[in-house]
Amino acid sequence: MLKRNPFRFLIALATMVTLMIAPAHARVEININKGNVEPLPIAITDFLQGELGQKISDVVAADLKRSGLFAPIAKTAFIEKITNPDAAPRFEDWKVINAQALVTGRVTQEGDGRLKAEFRLWDSFAGQQMAGQQFFTQPENWRRVAHIIADAIYEQITGEKGYFDTRIVYVAESGPKTARKRQLAIMDQDGANARGITNSNDIVLTPRFSPNKQEITYMSFEGNEPRVYLLQLETGQREVVGNFPGMTFAPRFSPDGQRVIMSLQQDGNANIYTMDLRSRTTTRLTSTAAIDTSPSYSPDGGQIVFESDRGGRQQLYVMSSGGGGQNRISFGDGSYSTPVWSPRGDLIAFTKQSGGKFSIGVMKPDGSGERILTTGFHNEGPTWAPNGRVLMFFRQNAGAGGPQLYSIDLTGYNEQLVQTKGFASDPAWSPLLE
Protein backbone atom coordinates (compact mmCIF):
# COMPACT_ATOMS: atom_id res chain seq x y z
CA MET A 1 0.00 0.00 0.00
CA LEU A 2 2.69 2.44 0.96
CA LYS A 3 4.74 1.76 -2.16
CA ARG A 4 2.03 3.30 -4.34
CA ASN A 5 2.24 6.49 -2.42
CA PRO A 6 3.87 9.21 -4.52
CA PHE A 7 4.51 11.31 -1.43
CA ARG A 8 7.27 9.48 0.34
CA PHE A 9 6.93 11.57 3.44
CA LEU A 10 3.57 9.99 4.14
CA ILE A 11 5.04 6.60 4.80
CA ALA A 12 4.11 5.64 8.30
CA LEU A 13 6.75 4.75 10.74
CA ALA A 14 6.83 1.01 11.16
CA THR A 15 7.10 0.11 14.79
CA MET A 16 8.16 1.48 18.09
CA VAL A 17 9.33 -0.68 20.93
CA THR A 18 10.06 0.59 24.39
CA LEU A 19 13.41 -0.71 25.52
CA MET A 20 13.47 -2.98 28.49
CA ILE A 21 14.76 -0.77 31.24
CA ALA A 22 11.86 0.98 32.89
CA PRO A 23 12.21 4.75 33.10
CA ALA A 24 13.26 5.96 36.50
CA HIS A 25 11.56 8.85 38.21
CA ALA A 26 13.05 11.79 36.41
CA ARG A 27 14.73 14.53 38.32
CA VAL A 28 15.58 16.40 35.15
CA GLU A 29 12.60 18.38 34.11
CA ILE A 30 11.66 21.69 32.55
CA ASN A 31 8.68 23.66 33.71
CA ILE A 32 7.70 25.21 30.43
CA ASN A 33 5.00 27.38 31.93
CA LYS A 34 7.46 29.67 33.68
CA GLY A 35 8.08 31.88 30.69
CA ASN A 36 11.66 32.50 29.71
CA VAL A 37 13.16 29.29 31.07
CA GLU A 38 16.87 28.65 31.17
CA PRO A 39 17.52 26.07 28.43
CA LEU A 40 18.45 22.66 29.83
CA PRO A 41 22.06 21.64 29.05
CA ILE A 42 21.86 18.30 27.26
CA ALA A 43 24.54 16.15 25.65
CA ILE A 44 23.41 14.42 22.47
CA THR A 45 26.10 11.98 21.43
CA ASP A 46 26.56 10.68 17.92
CA PHE A 47 24.50 7.58 17.40
CA LEU A 48 26.61 4.54 16.53
CA GLN A 49 27.72 3.79 13.85
CA GLY A 50 29.02 6.12 11.23
CA GLU A 51 27.64 8.98 9.22
CA LEU A 52 23.92 8.24 9.47
CA GLY A 53 24.11 7.95 13.25
CA GLN A 54 25.80 11.32 13.39
CA LYS A 55 23.18 12.88 11.08
CA ILE A 56 20.35 11.56 13.25
CA SER A 57 21.88 12.95 16.41
CA ASP A 58 22.42 16.29 14.67
CA VAL A 59 18.72 16.51 13.71
CA VAL A 60 17.68 15.61 17.28
CA ALA A 61 19.98 18.29 18.67
CA ALA A 62 18.75 20.91 16.17
CA ASP A 63 15.09 20.20 17.04
CA LEU A 64 15.68 20.48 20.77
CA LYS A 65 17.81 23.61 20.40
CA ARG A 66 15.23 25.36 18.22
CA SER A 67 12.55 24.77 20.84
CA GLY A 68 14.45 27.17 23.09
CA LEU A 69 14.07 24.78 26.01
CA PHE A 70 17.30 22.83 25.51
CA ALA A 71 20.94 23.84 25.12
CA PRO A 72 22.80 21.01 23.37
CA ILE A 73 26.43 20.92 24.53
CA ALA A 74 29.16 21.11 21.87
CA LYS A 75 30.47 17.64 21.07
CA THR A 76 34.04 18.89 21.47
CA ALA A 77 33.39 19.28 25.19
CA PHE A 78 32.48 15.60 25.64
CA ILE A 79 34.91 13.59 27.80
CA GLU A 80 33.53 10.06 27.52
CA LYS A 81 33.39 8.52 24.08
CA ILE A 82 30.28 6.34 23.95
CA THR A 83 31.15 2.91 22.57
CA ASN A 84 28.19 0.94 23.92
CA PRO A 85 24.96 2.98 23.92
CA ASP A 86 23.18 0.29 25.94
CA ALA A 87 25.51 0.48 28.90
CA ALA A 88 25.30 3.08 31.63
CA PRO A 89 27.61 5.98 30.75
CA ARG A 90 30.24 7.33 33.15
CA PHE A 91 27.88 9.85 34.70
CA GLU A 92 30.78 11.72 36.38
CA ASP A 93 32.17 12.60 32.94
CA TRP A 94 28.85 14.15 31.95
CA LYS A 95 28.25 15.94 35.26
CA VAL A 96 31.61 17.64 34.88
CA ILE A 97 30.46 19.33 31.67
CA ASN A 98 27.06 20.07 33.26
CA ALA A 99 25.12 17.78 30.95
CA GLN A 100 21.92 17.43 32.95
CA ALA A 101 20.65 14.95 30.42
CA LEU A 102 22.47 12.64 28.03
CA VAL A 103 21.27 10.93 24.87
CA THR A 104 22.94 7.84 23.45
CA GLY A 105 21.84 5.79 20.48
CA ARG A 106 22.55 3.36 17.72
CA VAL A 107 21.31 2.93 14.18
CA THR A 108 21.64 -0.37 12.32
CA GLN A 109 20.35 -1.90 9.12
CA GLU A 110 18.12 -4.95 9.54
CA GLY A 111 18.34 -7.99 7.30
CA ASP A 112 15.16 -6.91 5.48
CA GLY A 113 16.70 -3.53 4.65
CA ARG A 114 14.86 -1.59 7.32
CA LEU A 115 16.59 0.81 9.60
CA LYS A 116 16.58 0.19 13.33
CA ALA A 117 17.18 3.26 15.46
CA GLU A 118 17.48 3.07 19.26
CA PHE A 119 18.07 5.76 21.80
CA ARG A 120 18.38 6.09 25.56
CA LEU A 121 17.89 9.22 27.59
CA TRP A 122 19.92 9.43 30.81
CA ASP A 123 19.65 11.68 33.84
CA SER A 124 23.33 12.38 34.60
CA PHE A 125 22.87 13.75 38.08
CA ALA A 126 20.46 11.01 39.19
CA GLY A 127 22.62 8.43 37.42
CA GLN A 128 19.58 6.78 35.85
CA GLN A 129 18.00 6.02 32.52
CA MET A 130 14.87 8.11 31.90
CA ALA A 131 13.70 6.61 28.63
CA GLY A 132 14.69 4.12 25.99
CA GLN A 133 12.96 3.28 22.73
CA GLN A 134 13.66 1.68 19.38
CA PHE A 135 12.09 2.27 15.98
CA PHE A 136 12.05 0.46 12.66
CA THR A 137 11.57 2.28 9.39
CA GLN A 138 12.71 2.57 5.79
CA PRO A 139 16.17 4.14 5.45
CA GLU A 140 14.82 7.21 3.60
CA ASN A 141 12.76 8.08 6.69
CA TRP A 142 15.78 8.68 8.87
CA ARG A 143 14.86 12.33 9.49
CA ARG A 144 11.42 11.30 10.72
CA VAL A 145 13.01 8.89 13.16
CA ALA A 146 15.21 11.69 14.43
CA HIS A 147 12.16 13.96 14.90
CA ILE A 148 10.29 11.21 16.75
CA ILE A 149 13.26 10.70 19.07
CA ALA A 150 13.39 14.47 19.68
CA ASP A 151 9.65 14.42 20.47
CA ALA A 152 10.18 11.56 22.93
CA ILE A 153 12.96 13.47 24.70
CA TYR A 154 10.90 16.69 24.74
CA GLU A 155 7.90 14.88 26.20
CA GLN A 156 9.96 13.00 28.78
CA ILE A 157 11.56 16.18 30.09
CA THR A 158 8.80 18.78 29.70
CA GLY A 159 5.81 16.54 30.39
CA GLU A 160 4.09 17.80 27.21
CA LYS A 161 3.75 16.32 23.75
CA GLY A 162 6.40 17.38 21.27
CA TYR A 163 5.82 18.84 17.81
CA PHE A 164 8.94 17.92 15.84
CA ASP A 165 7.44 15.07 13.80
CA THR A 166 5.16 17.50 11.94
CA ARG A 167 5.05 19.34 8.66
CA ILE A 168 4.19 22.82 7.46
CA VAL A 169 2.15 23.60 4.37
CA TYR A 170 2.67 27.14 3.09
CA VAL A 171 2.60 29.43 0.08
CA ALA A 172 6.00 29.54 -1.61
CA GLU A 173 6.44 32.91 -3.31
CA SER A 174 8.90 33.94 -5.99
CA GLY A 175 9.40 36.72 -8.50
CA PRO A 176 8.79 40.46 -8.18
CA LYS A 177 5.81 41.68 -6.16
CA THR A 178 4.05 42.96 -9.27
CA ALA A 179 4.29 39.54 -10.92
CA ARG A 180 4.47 37.23 -7.96
CA LYS A 181 4.36 33.46 -8.52
CA ARG A 182 2.75 31.39 -5.81
CA GLN A 183 2.55 27.67 -5.25
CA LEU A 184 1.61 25.52 -2.32
CA ALA A 185 4.58 23.79 -0.74
CA ILE A 186 5.06 21.39 2.11
CA MET A 187 8.09 20.83 4.30
CA ASP A 188 9.12 19.28 7.59
CA GLN A 189 8.73 21.67 10.52
CA ASP A 190 12.51 22.25 10.50
CA GLY A 191 12.44 23.35 6.85
CA ALA A 192 13.82 20.09 5.43
CA ASN A 193 12.26 18.13 2.56
CA ALA A 194 10.49 21.16 1.07
CA ARG A 195 8.61 20.47 -2.15
CA GLY A 196 5.90 22.13 -4.20
CA ILE A 197 2.50 20.44 -4.32
CA THR A 198 0.73 22.67 -6.86
CA ASN A 199 1.95 24.41 -9.97
CA SER A 200 2.56 28.15 -9.90
CA ASN A 201 0.21 29.13 -12.73
CA ASP A 202 -2.62 30.31 -10.48
CA ILE A 203 -2.72 32.34 -7.31
CA VAL A 204 -3.04 29.91 -4.41
CA LEU A 205 -3.55 31.05 -0.82
CA THR A 206 -4.27 29.97 2.75
CA PRO A 207 -3.60 26.20 2.78
CA ARG A 208 -4.74 24.35 5.94
CA PHE A 209 -4.24 20.75 7.06
CA SER A 210 -6.98 18.30 7.79
CA PRO A 211 -6.80 17.27 11.45
CA ASN A 212 -6.91 13.57 10.62
CA LYS A 213 -6.38 12.95 6.90
CA GLN A 214 -3.66 13.58 4.36
CA GLU A 215 -5.73 16.39 2.95
CA ILE A 216 -5.40 20.15 2.57
CA THR A 217 -8.01 22.82 1.98
CA TYR A 218 -6.90 26.02 0.29
CA MET A 219 -8.02 28.79 -2.04
CA SER A 220 -7.11 28.98 -5.70
CA PHE A 221 -7.80 31.43 -8.53
CA GLU A 222 -7.74 28.62 -11.09
CA GLY A 223 -9.68 29.68 -14.20
CA ASN A 224 -10.10 33.15 -12.66
CA GLU A 225 -12.78 31.67 -10.42
CA PRO A 226 -11.55 32.14 -6.85
CA ARG A 227 -12.73 29.07 -4.97
CA VAL A 228 -11.97 26.87 -1.98
CA TYR A 229 -10.44 23.51 -2.95
CA LEU A 230 -9.57 20.21 -1.34
CA LEU A 231 -6.27 18.54 -2.23
CA GLN A 232 -5.55 14.88 -1.43
CA LEU A 233 -1.86 14.71 -0.63
CA GLU A 234 -1.54 11.01 -1.41
CA THR A 235 -3.04 11.17 -4.89
CA GLY A 236 -2.71 14.83 -5.82
CA GLN A 237 -6.45 14.82 -6.57
CA ARG A 238 -8.17 18.21 -6.31
CA GLU A 239 -11.79 19.24 -6.12
CA VAL A 240 -13.79 22.43 -5.60
CA VAL A 241 -15.56 22.58 -2.23
CA GLY A 242 -19.25 23.18 -2.84
CA ASN A 243 -21.07 24.97 -5.62
CA PHE A 244 -21.35 28.53 -4.37
CA PRO A 245 -22.54 31.57 -6.36
CA GLY A 246 -19.42 33.65 -5.68
CA MET A 247 -15.88 33.69 -4.37
CA THR A 248 -15.25 31.27 -1.50
CA PHE A 249 -12.20 31.83 0.67
CA ALA A 250 -10.67 31.55 4.17
CA PRO A 251 -11.24 27.77 4.52
CA ARG A 252 -10.48 25.62 7.57
CA PHE A 253 -11.42 22.11 8.62
CA SER A 254 -13.65 21.28 11.56
CA PRO A 255 -11.81 19.40 14.32
CA ASP A 256 -13.34 16.09 13.17
CA GLY A 257 -12.23 16.76 9.60
CA GLN A 258 -15.77 16.26 8.29
CA ARG A 259 -16.59 19.84 7.43
CA VAL A 260 -14.92 22.80 5.78
CA ILE A 261 -15.83 26.22 7.14
CA MET A 262 -15.23 29.24 4.88
CA SER A 263 -16.51 32.60 3.68
CA LEU A 264 -18.72 33.19 0.67
CA GLN A 265 -18.50 36.60 -0.97
CA GLN A 266 -21.70 38.01 -2.47
CA ASP A 267 -21.53 41.57 -3.75
CA GLY A 268 -20.01 43.58 -0.92
CA ASN A 269 -20.66 41.09 1.86
CA ALA A 270 -18.90 37.99 3.09
CA ASN A 271 -20.72 35.45 5.24
CA ILE A 272 -19.62 32.22 6.86
CA TYR A 273 -20.75 28.82 5.61
CA THR A 274 -19.89 25.22 6.33
CA MET A 275 -19.98 22.31 3.96
CA ASP A 276 -20.31 18.75 5.20
CA LEU A 277 -17.82 16.74 3.16
CA ARG A 278 -19.92 13.54 3.31
CA SER A 279 -23.45 14.81 2.66
CA ARG A 280 -22.24 17.83 0.64
CA THR A 281 -24.85 19.96 2.36
CA THR A 282 -24.01 23.58 3.07
CA THR A 283 -25.12 25.60 6.07
CA ARG A 284 -25.07 29.36 6.40
CA LEU A 285 -23.86 30.54 9.82
CA THR A 286 -23.72 34.34 9.60
CA SER A 287 -25.95 36.80 7.83
CA THR A 288 -24.79 40.39 8.02
CA ALA A 289 -24.12 43.24 5.62
CA ALA A 290 -20.48 43.02 6.62
CA ILE A 291 -17.29 41.08 5.99
CA ASP A 292 -17.41 37.97 8.19
CA THR A 293 -14.36 35.82 7.56
CA SER A 294 -11.38 33.83 8.90
CA PRO A 295 -13.49 31.33 10.88
CA SER A 296 -11.75 28.81 13.16
CA TYR A 297 -13.32 26.09 15.30
CA SER A 298 -12.61 25.47 18.97
CA PRO A 299 -10.92 22.05 19.36
CA ASP A 300 -14.13 20.51 20.76
CA GLY A 301 -16.03 21.75 17.70
CA GLY A 302 -18.61 23.54 19.82
CA GLN A 303 -17.64 27.12 19.02
CA ILE A 304 -16.26 29.20 16.18
CA VAL A 305 -14.12 32.33 16.37
CA PHE A 306 -14.15 34.65 13.34
CA GLU A 307 -13.49 38.25 12.37
CA SER A 308 -16.08 40.76 11.27
CA ASP A 309 -16.19 44.46 10.44
CA ARG A 310 -19.91 44.64 11.33
CA GLY A 311 -19.05 47.14 14.04
CA GLY A 312 -16.76 49.26 11.84
CA ARG A 313 -13.22 47.88 11.99
CA GLN A 314 -12.34 44.19 12.03
CA GLN A 315 -12.89 42.59 15.43
CA LEU A 316 -13.02 39.05 16.77
CA TYR A 317 -16.34 37.36 17.52
CA VAL A 318 -17.23 33.96 18.96
CA MET A 319 -20.39 32.04 18.10
CA SER A 320 -21.72 28.55 18.66
CA SER A 321 -21.04 26.02 15.91
CA GLY A 322 -24.62 26.46 14.76
CA GLY A 323 -24.16 30.21 14.34
CA GLY A 324 -26.00 31.30 17.49
CA GLY A 325 -24.84 33.74 20.16
CA GLN A 326 -22.44 35.90 18.16
CA ASN A 327 -20.44 37.90 20.70
CA ARG A 328 -17.56 40.28 20.18
CA ILE A 329 -14.48 39.35 22.25
CA SER A 330 -11.78 41.84 21.13
CA PHE A 331 -11.91 45.37 22.51
CA GLY A 332 -8.35 46.68 22.42
CA ASP A 333 -7.00 49.50 20.26
CA GLY A 334 -6.86 48.83 16.54
CA SER A 335 -8.31 45.98 14.56
CA TYR A 336 -8.08 42.22 15.00
CA SER A 337 -8.08 39.51 12.36
CA THR A 338 -7.08 35.92 11.43
CA PRO A 339 -8.15 34.33 14.73
CA VAL A 340 -7.01 30.73 15.26
CA TRP A 341 -8.15 28.63 18.19
CA SER A 342 -5.36 26.81 20.03
CA PRO A 343 -5.44 22.99 19.82
CA ARG A 344 -5.47 23.06 23.64
CA GLY A 345 -8.56 25.25 23.60
CA ASP A 346 -7.21 27.76 26.10
CA LEU A 347 -6.22 30.59 23.76
CA ILE A 348 -6.99 32.29 20.46
CA ALA A 349 -4.10 33.64 18.39
CA PHE A 350 -4.67 36.61 16.09
CA THR A 351 -3.15 39.34 13.92
CA LYS A 352 -3.58 42.84 15.34
CA GLN A 353 -3.20 46.09 13.42
CA SER A 354 -2.58 49.15 15.51
CA GLY A 355 -0.60 52.35 15.06
CA GLY A 356 0.67 51.28 11.65
CA LYS A 357 2.16 48.06 13.06
CA PHE A 358 1.11 44.43 12.66
CA SER A 359 1.38 42.17 15.72
CA ILE A 360 0.80 38.54 16.58
CA GLY A 361 -0.96 38.01 19.89
CA VAL A 362 -3.08 35.66 21.94
CA MET A 363 -6.13 36.11 24.13
CA LYS A 364 -8.45 33.84 26.06
CA PRO A 365 -11.65 32.76 24.29
CA ASP A 366 -13.62 35.24 26.41
CA GLY A 367 -11.36 38.06 25.16
CA SER A 368 -9.46 38.53 28.42
CA GLY A 369 -5.73 38.22 28.99
CA GLU A 370 -4.54 39.69 25.69
CA ARG A 371 -0.79 39.32 25.20
CA ILE A 372 1.20 40.56 22.21
CA LEU A 373 4.01 38.16 21.25
CA THR A 374 5.69 40.13 18.48
CA THR A 375 5.19 43.48 16.76
CA GLY A 376 6.62 44.99 13.59
CA PHE A 377 6.01 46.38 10.12
CA HIS A 378 4.00 43.36 9.02
CA ASN A 379 3.32 40.13 10.92
CA GLU A 380 0.34 38.02 9.89
CA GLY A 381 -1.45 34.71 10.00
CA PRO A 382 -0.51 32.68 13.11
CA THR A 383 -0.77 28.88 13.14
CA TRP A 384 -0.39 26.64 16.20
CA ALA A 385 1.98 23.75 16.71
CA PRO A 386 -0.15 20.69 17.63
CA ASN A 387 0.87 20.94 21.30
CA GLY A 388 -0.34 24.55 21.55
CA ARG A 389 3.07 25.77 22.77
CA VAL A 390 4.56 27.33 19.64
CA LEU A 391 3.16 29.59 16.91
CA MET A 392 4.34 30.11 13.36
CA PHE A 393 3.43 33.17 11.27
CA PHE A 394 4.75 35.18 8.34
CA ARG A 395 6.59 38.46 8.49
CA GLN A 396 7.57 41.02 5.91
CA ASN A 397 9.98 43.68 7.02
CA ALA A 398 9.82 47.17 5.53
CA GLY A 399 11.84 47.22 2.34
CA ALA A 400 11.99 43.45 2.09
CA GLY A 401 11.18 41.82 -1.22
CA GLY A 402 8.76 39.35 0.34
CA PRO A 403 7.62 37.53 3.46
CA GLN A 404 9.36 34.83 5.49
CA LEU A 405 8.19 32.36 8.12
CA TYR A 406 8.95 32.71 11.81
CA SER A 407 8.15 30.66 14.88
CA ILE A 408 7.76 31.97 18.40
CA ASP A 409 7.07 30.43 21.79
CA LEU A 410 3.71 31.07 23.38
CA THR A 411 5.55 33.09 26.01
CA GLY A 412 6.79 35.52 23.33
CA TYR A 413 10.37 34.29 23.65
CA ASN A 414 12.53 32.30 21.26
CA GLU A 415 11.54 33.86 17.95
CA GLN A 416 13.16 31.90 15.12
CA LEU A 417 13.36 32.30 11.36
CA VAL A 418 12.11 29.17 9.59
CA GLN A 419 14.38 28.66 6.60
CA THR A 420 12.70 28.43 3.22
CA LYS A 421 14.31 28.58 -0.20
CA GLY A 422 12.40 31.63 -1.38
CA PHE A 423 9.75 33.86 0.15
CA ALA A 424 6.99 32.15 2.10
CA SER A 425 3.62 33.03 3.65
CA ASP A 426 0.46 31.47 5.09
CA PRO A 427 2.09 28.68 7.10
CA ALA A 428 -0.20 25.99 8.51
CA TRP A 429 1.08 23.40 10.96
CA SER A 430 0.11 19.76 10.54
CA PRO A 431 -1.13 17.63 13.42
CA LEU A 432 1.43 15.22 14.89
CA LEU A 433 2.05 12.58 12.25
CA GLU A 434 0.87 9.05 12.81
User: Would you list the DSSP string of 337-361?
Assistant: EEEEE-TTSS-EEEEEEETTEEEEE
Q: Which stretch binds another protein (CB under 8 A): 122-130, 236-244, 278-286, 291-299?
A: 291-299
Residue 300: count of CB within 10 angstroms of its CB: 10
263: closest CA among 253, 254, 278, 274? 274
Residues in CB range of 376: below 8 A, 6 or more apart: 357, 358, 359, 395, 397
Residue from 132, 255, 381, 388 in contact with another protein (CB under 8 A)? 381
* Separation CA 413–CA 134 (nearest Å): 33
Site string for another protein, 265-284 (x = CB under 8 A): x-xxxx--------------
* Separation CA 268–CA 346 (nearest Å): 34
Q: Which residues pair with 262 in a beta bridge?
A: 273
206 binds another protein (CB under 8 A): yes
Residue 18: count of CB within 10 angstroms of its CB: 12
Residue from 35, 92, 96, 177 in contact with another protein (CB under 8 A)? 177
The site for another protein, by CB under 8 A, has a size of: 42
223 binds another protein (CB under 8 A): yes
Site string for another protein, 224-263 (x = CB under 8 A): xxx--------------------x-xx------------x
Inter-residue contact 27 to 100 (CB < 8 Å):
no
Burial of 155 (0-12, 13-18, 19+ CB in 10 A): middle
Site string for another protein, 308-337 (x = CB under 8 A): -x---xx----------------------x
Inter-residue contact 103 to 133 (CB < 8 Å):
no
- Tell the smallest beta-carbon distance from residue 236 to another protein (Å): 24
Query: Is the CB of 16 or the CB of 400 nearer to another protein?
Result: 400
60: closest CA among 12, 18, 107, 129? 107
Site string for another protein, 145-174 (x = CB under 8 A): ------------------------------
Q: Is the peptide bond before 134 cis (omega within 30 degrees of 0)?
A: no
- Tell the smallest beta-carbon distance from residue 430 to another protein (Å): 20
Of residues 389 through 418, those in contact with another protein by CB under 8 A are 398-399
111 binds another protein (CB under 8 A): no
- Tell the smallest beta-carbon distance from residue 298 to another protein (Å): 19
181 binds another protein (CB under 8 A): no
Query: Is the CB of 22 or the CB of 179 nearer to another protein?
Result: 179
Site residues (vs another protein, CB under 8 A): 176-178, 180, 182, 203, 205-206, 219, 221, 223-226, 247, 249-250, 263, 265, 267-270, 291, 293-294, 307, 309, 313-314, 337-338, 351, 353, 377-378, 380-381, 398-399, 425-426
